[in-house]
């Protein structure tokens, strides 16, 4: 089923109500592994994740360039180089300075992923918008996701050949792993 683009990209409030994400995150309270967000932008969701991670006794990782997109592929149609930059991660490091479970990782996917030491993941939210970073993030995250862990991708438009949707469809088609849920803005898997 194809959803109208206006449901996603032209709706400025589509990420303002993270209740689905919070519910999914709370459901992994007894699942081993860290909590990860790739594509943090202004950290609105990450700050919520950080608090829940603390309640669960887990580390919460924020992964982003914090400088916008490095380059755009032929499959990416909504953004240009530099979009969604927030002038580095210094502001987030200050904001989380008293949070012992916060880990801020500044860099571009995939290089930053190769530099991070995470053994297991119980919950990951991937919101990097673009084709290549989404594909690389999924490839990195899936093997680290523990049984019962949840991987969520944002901005998915089923059967759309653009942006992150293409990478997500490729993951589904290549692995034959059926997704566990689909909403207006998110698709997710609970690993068996």
**For the residues of 76-131, what is the DSSP string, one character each?**
--S--TTTTB-S-SHHHHHHTTT-TTEEEEES-TTHHHHH---S-EEEEEE---SH
Would you place residue 2 in the very low, low, confident or very high pLDDT band (cuts 50, 70, 90)? very low
Peptide bond into 110 cis (omega under 30): yes
Would you place residue 21 in the very low, low, confident or very high pLDDT band (cuts 50, 70, 90)? very high
Quote the pLDDT of residue 112.
97
Quote the pLDDT of residue 79.
80
Domains of the chain: 40-190 (3.40.50.150)
Q: Could you tell me the pTM of the whole model?
A: 0.88
Quote the pLDDT of residue 159.
78
Average pLDDT over residues 168-175: 96
Average pLDDT, the chain: 89
Of 41, 49, 188, 67, the residue nearest 129 (C-alpha): 41
């Amino acid at each position: 089923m194809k959803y109208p683009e206006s449901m996603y990209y032209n709706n400025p409030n589509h990420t303002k109500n993270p209740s689905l994400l919070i519910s999914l995150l709370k459901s992994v309270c007894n699942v081993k592994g860290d909590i990860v967000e790739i594509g943090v932008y202004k950290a609105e969701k990450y700050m919520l994740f950080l608090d829940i991670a603390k309640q669960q006794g887990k580390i919460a990782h924020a992964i982003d360039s914090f400088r916008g997109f490095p380059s755009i592929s032929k499959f990416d149609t909504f953004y240009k180089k530099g979009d969604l930059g927030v002038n580095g991660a210094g502001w987030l490091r200050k904001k989380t300075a008293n949070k012992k479970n916060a880990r801020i990782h500044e860099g571009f996917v995939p290089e930053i992923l190769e530099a991070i030491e995470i053994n297991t993941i119980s919950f990951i939210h991937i919101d990097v918008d673009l084709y290549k970073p989404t594909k690389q993030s999924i490839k990195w995250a899936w093997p680290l996701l523990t049984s019962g862990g949840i991987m969520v991708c944002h901005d998915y438009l089923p059967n759309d050949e653009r942006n992150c949707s293409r990478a997500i469809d490729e993951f589904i088609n290549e692995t034959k792993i059926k997704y566990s849920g689909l909403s207006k803005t998110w698709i997710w898997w609970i690993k068996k």
